[in-house]
Structure 1
Amino acid sequence: MISEIAELLTPVWGPMRLLNSSFLLAAMGALVAAMSAMVLLPLLWKYLPTDQGRAHAVGSAASVGKPMSAGIIMIAIIIVCAIIFVPADVRIYGSLLLLAAASALGYIDDKSGGLSELTLGACDFLLACAAALLIFGFEPARAWLPFTAEIFEVPAWLHIPVAVVVIWFSINALNCSDGVDGLSGTLALISIAVLGLLFYIAVGNIEMARYLLLPFDGNGYKWAILSSIACGCLAGYLWYNVPPSSVMMGDAGSRPIGLLIGILVMVSGNPFLIIVCAGLILANGATGLFKVAMLRFFKLRLFSDIRFPLHDHVRKNYQWSNSQVLARFAMVHMAITLALVSMLLKVR
């Protein structure tokens, strides 16, 4: 919205052209989203449902009675800021609708005390399918992969199922990581920030894309602005969510934020970025999904000595405090992500 207004007013007043700067739009969007979250959350969380505790989760009693589902407010902030600061784009607007749907589903799950796993899994599958079709349609997609400089033309029958799997696991992995004050928000902020930087300085930059042998996306800067807005909102939320938390995003936040990470990964053209940029999120949350699936469908007991999600394992077995879990997981996640991104871009 702002960039379109700036184009109209620039002939009248030259300095308005600054509002066409993607860097300035990203910075302004992040700041407005952060301040909006910091102001609106304490004003509105009294209207949110409260946490009733989760069975088998370590330390869940400490969260009982706290307002949850703050994600419904966070996603609303992200959507409004994206409409204001991100130049018009059909795929981004469609993604915002999917984020709203995922947040509404999470809110219903939070308020009802928990929908069935089958219902949630099926809804997540539909969201992942819709996101995959929104990103690619039924056209071939260009993809870049680790350890090769070649850019591949991937047919729709292959890249759509891959996108569905990546996005589905991203939704559920972040949701499973939401069990320690500040953890899921911090891990998601790091992942989205790195993905946003990749869009801004690599995939969406024609000179760097050519240098790094990546497929250039002329709309990459728009996804970078959206990423910046999401990071700003997460930062504002974390102001109240670090140990001891005052409010929790709940499924209304973790599901749509996980969906956003999956969408960003697939738009980048490299599905392996889900491992590179969200590896610890997958290890913490998605491995538990894999363990349960192996037991239920194949009667195989794997990782029987490890409690999932991993944050519960270290709290139970190593007596880590919530603050220790948050700090150590964040440091490991950041170190691994930066190292793997560097390798991914240069070793090709």
Structure 2
Amino acid sequence: MFYNFIYQNFAENAAGFLNLLKYITFRSGAALTTSFLLVLIFAPIIIRKFAVWQAELKTVRDHLPHHAKIGTPSMGGVLIIGSMLVSTLLWANLSNPYILICIAVVFAFATIGFVDDYLSMTGRRNGGIPGKIRLILQFGITTVALIVAQYFHTGEHFSDITFVPLLKDLVINLNIVLFCIFASFVCVGTANGVNLTDGLDGLAIFPSVVVAGGFAGLAYIIGRSDFTSYLNLYYIPQASELAIFASSLVGAGLGFLWFNAHPAKIFMGDVGSLGIGAALGMLAVLTKLEFLLLIMGGLFVVESLSVIIQVYYFKATKKRFFKMAPIHHHFEKGGVPETTIVTRFWIISILLVIIAFAVLKIR
């Protein structure tokens, strides 16, 4: 809104500071700083309010060594998503349809998470929203968003897969129906992958920040014809503005980590994990780098696969493949300290993003 207001009223005479608003790099930095400060300012208030409201959290299981966490407020994702969206609205160009689509999808997924958290914590429905209904809502939201995105997409190949790691000049032609199915699985899978990863202090938020930071850079690259030509990537003019959206997530995530690092003063809940995962999924789809997300977000993929393996292995053998799933609980059961698990997973997430950037050129 700030960007649009300035350029609608002062574009012709913009100078000095106002002239900086023309640069996506400046507005990305401003968005990151704004969302970070918003979380720092409002987190103490939210923590106090939620601590009073939430007498006992359902997310802490009795058979895990987390009894000290009982009473720690959850649903802190409202801080992340709220700060992220406010910052995006302030600094992004709201005439860019990709920005509006991402805002809508993140808000919708976060709303599903909020309702799920609320139902669980108030005891009205201990399991929250039934899993099938939640998936139907998520796939429906993503499909509508993709259809709208196709309408506003400039150029070719919206419904095609234009990037496969290590392969050059490969375009997989899909019709819009098949692409919507594929892209919906990317978005919904990422959202639920982040949700499954959110089980230890700081475990989900830092990898999310690292991946979002990676996509901030990638969105800027994809929106520059000179960079895409050099890297042999598909040029998407609208994509560069997504760097601001991704940067706002980075700032909000870092601000939240300030309070979510061990020992956590607040948890993000489904409202945060689903909203963040949806944001990462949409960034991958709209930049046409869906397969790169598999590398960058490899931690979320492994967490999800560990649950799938555990479920199907138990059905087949009546035994557990892991001591407990998701896999971070397997390591906990093996006696590895929580902080050690989290730190190692952070290191892995950083390395995966570095590998993903290397893969861009190694084709």
C-alpha contact (below 8 Å) 2:31/2:248 kept by paired residues: yes
Asked whether 1:179 is paired with 2:179, we answer no
* Alignment-derived partner of residue 19 in structure 1: 21
* Alignment-derived partner of residue 94 in structure 1: 101
**In structure 1, how many angstroms separate the alpha carbons of the residues matched to 2:317 and 2:226?**
50
C-alpha contact (below 8 Å) 1:169/1:286 kept by paired residues: no
* Alignment-derived partner of residue 190 in structure 1: 210
C-alpha contact (below 8 Å) 2:75/2:271 kept by paired residues: yes
CA gap 1:268/1:17 in 2 versus in 1, 3 angstroms:
same
* Alignment-derived partner of residue 68 in structure 1: 74
Asked whether 1:238 is paired with 2:257, we answer yes
Secondary structure, in 3 states, of the residue corresponding to 1:20?
coil
C-alpha contact (below 8 Å) 1:131/1:263 kept by paired residues: no
C-alpha contact (below 8 Å) 1:52/1:65 kept by paired residues: no
Q: CA RMSD, aligned part only? A: 2.3
1:312 to 329, 335, 338: 329
TM-score (norm 1): 0.91
* Alignment-derived partner of residue 34 in structure 1: 36
C-alpha contact (below 8 Å) 1:98/1:127 kept by paired residues: yes
* Alignment-derived partner of residue 149 in structure 2: 135
Question: AA paired with 2:344?
Answer: R
Stretches of structure 1 that go unaligned for 5 or more consecutive residues are none
C-alpha contact (below 8 Å) 1:204/1:220 kept by paired residues: yes
- CA displacement at 1:11 relative to structure 2: 2.8
* Alignment-derived partner of residue 107 in structure 1: 114
CA gap 1:130/1:292 in 2 versus in 1, 3 angstroms:
farther
**In structure 1, how many angstroms separate the alpha carbons of the residues matched to 2:209 and 2:296?**
11
* Alignment-derived partner of residue 3 in structure 2: 3
Question: AA paired with 1:309?
Answer: P
CA gap 1:302/1:144 in 2 versus in 1, 3 angstroms:
farther
CA gap 1:105/1:134 in 2 versus in 1, 3 angstroms:
same
Asked whether 1:213 is paired with 2:215, we answer no
- CA displacement at 1:287 relative to structure 2: 3.1
Secondary structure, in 3 states, of the residue corresponding to 2:290?
coil
Secondary structure, in 3 states, of the residue corresponding to 1:183?
coil
Of stretches 56-65 and 250-259 in structure 1, the one that deviates more from structure 2 is: 56-65
**In structure 2, how many angstroms separate the alpha carbons of the residues matched to 1:80 and 1:64?**
31
Of stretches 46-55 and 104-113 in structure 1, the one that deviates more from structure 2 is: 46-55
C-alpha contact (below 8 Å) 1:53/1:63 kept by paired residues: no
- CA displacement at 1:280 relative to structure 2: 1.0
CA gap 1:268/1:47 in 2 versus in 1, 3 angstroms:
same
Map residues 198-347 of structure 1 onto 2, 5 A cutoff. Answer: 198-200=218-220, 202-289=221-308, 291-292=310-311, 299=316, 304-317=321-334, 319-342=335-358, 344-347=359-362
CA gap 1:301/1:147 in 2 versus in 1, 3 angstroms:
farther
Identity %: 20
Secondary structure, in 3 states, of the residue corresponding to 1:243?
coil
- CA displacement at 1:123 relative to structure 2: 2.5
Question: AA paired with 2:3?
Answer: S
C-alpha contact (below 8 Å) 1:284/1:310 kept by paired residues: yes
TM-score (norm 2): 0.87
- CA displacement at 1:60 relative to structure 2: 3.8
C-alpha contact (below 8 Å) 2:98/2:239 kept by paired residues: no
C-alpha contact (below 8 Å) 1:192/1:227 kept by paired residues: yes
Question: AA paired with 1:72?
Answer: V
Secondary structure, in 3 states, of the residue corresponding to 2:98?
helix
Secondary structure, in 3 states, of the residue corresponding to 2:204?
helix
Of stretches 231-240 and 114-123 in structure 1, the one that deviates more from structure 2 is: 114-123
* Alignment-derived partner of residue 155 in structure 1: 175
CA gap 1:162/1:303 in 2 versus in 1, 3 angstroms:
farther
**In structure 2, how many angstroms separate the alpha carbons of the residues matched to 1:287 and 1:165?**
18
- CA displacement at 1:232 relative to structure 2: 0.1
Secondary structure, in 3 states, of the residue corresponding to 1:37?
helix
Of stretches 36-45 and 119-128 in structure 1, the one that deviates more from structure 2 is: 119-128
Secondary structure, in 3 states, of the residue corresponding to 2:237?
coil
Of stretches 283-292 and 213-222 in structure 1, the one that deviates more from structure 2 is: 283-292
**In structure 1, how many angstroms separate the alpha carbons of the residues matched to 2:193 and 2:169?**
30
1:81 to 69, 87, 108: 87
Question: AA paired with 1:171?
Answer: A
- CA displacement at 1:187 relative to structure 2: 1.1
Question: AA paired with 2:339?
Answer: S
Question: AA paired with 2:346?
Answer: A
